[in-house]
Amino acid sequence: MIHFDSDYMEGAHPKVMQRLLETNLEQTPGYGKDSYCEQAKTLIRKACGNDTLDIHFLVGGTQANTIVIDALLNHHEGVLAAETAHINVHESGAIESCGHKVLQLPSHAGKVDAGEVQEFITKFYEDETYEHMVAPGMLYISYPTEYGTLYTREELSRLHQICRNANIPLYIDGARLGYGLASNASDITISMLPALCDIFYIGGTKVGAMFGECIVANNGLLKHFFPLIKQHGALMAKGRLLGIQFSTLFTDGLYMNIAKHAIEMAMIIKNGFISNGYSPFIDSPTNQQFFTLPNALIDYLSSFATFEIWGNKGEHETTVRFVTSWATQKEHVELLIGKLNSYSNR
């Protein structure tokens, strides 16, 4: 069996494991007050081209989203997000459990439309009863989105401008940030992000780390964030584990290099299906590939590979998702496409 279910099926990149092993018996102070965290922050500030950035390390993505959103919203505010956003669908109500509504916008292959964001905000304040309604207090987007799609630099700029005009922060969920930046379709780099939004996180769990996400905020945005992390039960006693991992990922371009590998593997899959006559369900340039396939083909592929059924099963055809990662082996991808080619040529 070969596996394309998700990008969190393995442990950590070998270099990350090696550093964890090398430092294992060193003694450091707890709660992220160690030199490895400092080192990682320095490396990330450098990669982002801004040495004033406020950086915090957390364990997981839902945790990062919840704490950031809890930190930034006022009581009467909610977070604008696509209806397909992870925070709206797959976090078991984490945002609401902190008291805040997800204000749903239409999803366009996982993306929000700047015009619709602006329209929501404009209509909100035009409504005479707006003080009885949940105010738009920030905008959440993901890069890449839950459907593997990417915003262009121009789109991000426009969203950010709308947010600035409305005096609300723009937050980018970067659970798969590396796989977005490494895509051939991306026209941005990590160093552009601090100017394109107010706060984002660099996903580690899915991109080479054993676990860990790195929140990067413009200076002054987050207040009293340390006790809030603790209050959410998200403060690691051995904080250095996060520092060690992120400093490794941001040394010698490791983060981007391993992300590029995942993209190359994804493109082999994508092109393989296309060349066999299947059109993508969504045209994703990143590490998640969605195809609507005949159920017979799905049955055949399932005999030697695992992947995810996306949504409900159809009568004749069903949409499926193939995911690659830093750990995906080229032989597995070639095996998949080889068998697909044979199947088509029966």
Residues 62-121 that bind a copy of itself (CB under 8 A): 62-67, 70-71, 74-76, 78, 89-94, 96-102, 104
Token digits for 267?
């493109």
- C-beta closer to a copy of itself: residue 234 or 256: 234
Candidates 52, 167, 303, 312; binder of a copy of itself (CB under 8 A) is 312
Candidates 210, 221, 256, 335; binder of a copy of itself (CB under 8 A) is 210
Residue 29 near residue 47, CB atoms below 8 Å: no
211 exposure class (CB count in 10 Å sphere: 0-12, 13-18, 19+): middle
Q: Where are the beta strands (DSSP E) in 252-312?
A: 280-282, 288-294, 305-306, 308-309
The Cα–Cα gap between 261 and 208 comes to 11
Q: Does 30 participate in binding a copy of itself (rule CB under 8 A)?
A: yes
The Cα–Cα gap between 191 and 153 comes to 12
- C-beta closer to a copy of itself: residue 29 or 294: 29
CB of 46 to a copy of itself, least distance (A): 26
Range 145-164, binding a copy of itself (CB under 8 A) = none
In degrees rounded to 5, what are phi and psi of residue 93? 75, 25
Q: Does 51 participate in binding a copy of itself (rule CB under 8 A)?
A: no
Stretch that binds a copy of itself, among 26-34, 39-47, 165-173, 333-341 (CB under 8 A): 26-34
Candidates 125, 230, 302, 330; binder of a copy of itself (CB under 8 A) is 230
Cα dihedral 114, 118, 119, 120 sign:
positive
CB of 345 to a copy of itself, least distance (A): 29
DSSP designation for 279: P
Residue 154 neighbours by CB distance under 10 Å: 10
Q: Does 228 participate in binding a copy of itself (rule CB under 8 A)?
A: yes
Greatest Cα-to-Cα distance within the chain, rounded to the nearest angstrom: 66
Q: Does 24 participate in binding a copy of itself (rule CB under 8 A)?
A: yes
Candidates 205, 248, 288, 324; binder of a copy of itself (CB under 8 A) is 205
The Cα–Cα gap between 277 and 322 comes to 17
DSSP states of 147-160: TS----HHHHHHHH
Q: Does 23 participate in binding a copy of itself (rule CB under 8 A)?
A: yes
CB of 151 to a copy of itself, least distance (A): 24
The Cα–Cα gap between 77 and 218 comes to 21
Amino acid letter, residue 321: R
Candidates 164, 295, 309, 341; binder of a copy of itself (CB under 8 A) is 309
- C-beta closer to a copy of itself: residue 186 or 245: 245
CB of 226 to a copy of itself, least distance (A): 5
- C-beta closer to a copy of itself: residue 98 or 335: 98
CB of 139 to a copy of itself, least distance (A): 17
Residue 67 near residue 228, CB atoms below 8 Å: yes
Task: Tell me the per-residue interface mask from 265 to 284 with a copy of itself, x by CB under 8 A, - otherwise.
Answer: --------------------
- C-beta closer to a copy of itself: residue 25 or 346: 25
In degrees rounded to 5, what are phi and psi of residue 269? -65, -50
- C-beta closer to a copy of itself: residue 66 or 247: 66
Closest CA to 110 of 155, 169, 63: 155
Stretch that binds a copy of itself, among 40-48, 164-172, 220-228, 277-285 (CB under 8 A): 220-228
The Cα–Cα gap between 227 and 233 comes to 10
The Cα–Cα gap between 73 and 168 comes to 9
Q: Does 295 participate in binding a copy of itself (rule CB under 8 A)?
A: no
